[in-house]
Amino acid sequence: MPCNLEPDPPIPSHFKGATARLVNLRIKGTHGTATIIAARYAGVSISVNPATFTIRAGSQTFDITVDSDTPGDVTRLLCDDGTVLDEFAYDAGDPNRFYTVWGG
């Protein structure tokens, strides 16, 4: 399935996509094993591994809580097709990532 999200510059944590499109996102560590242990979109808990939601109109918050077996591991947020939407160093002291998704 093609990635239904794309970066919405200039802010790296902002994405955009067409309303009513399905999104499946997963996390992958570069050296260790990373997983999404909790996810919310538009204020509602959603499935994890993959985190799945349908894009709603307007600006919505998407947040995930990540766990990894390798502290500091470069971790990637990926679409089904392998598109990298975000890349960050895993921090067990701050495992939450917050994004804004614009549906239009």
Contact of 103 with 58, CB cutoff 8 Å:
yes
With a pLDDT cut of 90, the percent of the chain lying above it is: 93
Assess whether pLDDT exceeds 80 at residue 1: no
Query: Which pair of structure tokens corresponds to residue 81?
Result: 């097709």
- What mean pLDDT, rounded, does the chain reach? 96
Q: Provide the residue ranges of all domains of the chain, joining segments of one domain with +.
A: 6-103
The whole-angstrom separation of Cα 1 and Cα 35 is 21
State residue 19's pLDDT score: 98
pLDDT digits (tens, 9 = 90+) for 63-96: 999 999 999 999 999 999 999 999 999 999 999 9
Assess whether pLDDT exceeds 80 at residue 51: yes
Instruction: Report the predicted TM-score, pTM, of the whole model to 2 decimal places.
Output: 0.93
Q: Mean pLDDT, to the nearest integer, of 6-19?
A: 94
The whole-angstrom separation of Cα 95 and Cα 92 is 5
